[in-house]
Amino acid sequence: ASGTNVPTSTVIKARNDGQISVRRQNIMEVLQSGGLMGIKDICTNLPEYSEKMIQRELAELVESGKVRKAGLKRWSRYSIATI
């Protein structure tokens, strides 16, 4: 993809072949080390991403079954889904 100015994480996400984006991988690593965490806790560990970006990525991770969500709205807590 020479000559294009598309960020790598966008390319990985757009490929949709089951590969996880760098952002999602970073979120998963934070959750693995922290257990049950709220969005603010995750944001503190990943200051390079906005809270909205983390919310969107968490929603996708929950939908895909990789992350479990407990609670509603601002009381939501996230953790790695166990099989």
Q: What is the pLDDT of residue 14?
A: 42
Task: Give residue-wise pLDDT tens across range 66-79.
Answer: 999 999 988 999 99
Q: What is the pLDDT of residue 74?
A: 83
Q: What is the pLDDT of residue 71?
A: 94
The separation between CA 21 and the C-alpha centre of its own chain, rounded to angstroms, equals 9
DSSP H helices in 16-67 = 22-34, 39-45, 51-64
Task: Give residue-wise pLDDT tens across range 13-54.
Answer: 444 445 678 999 999 999 999 889 999 999 999 999 999 999
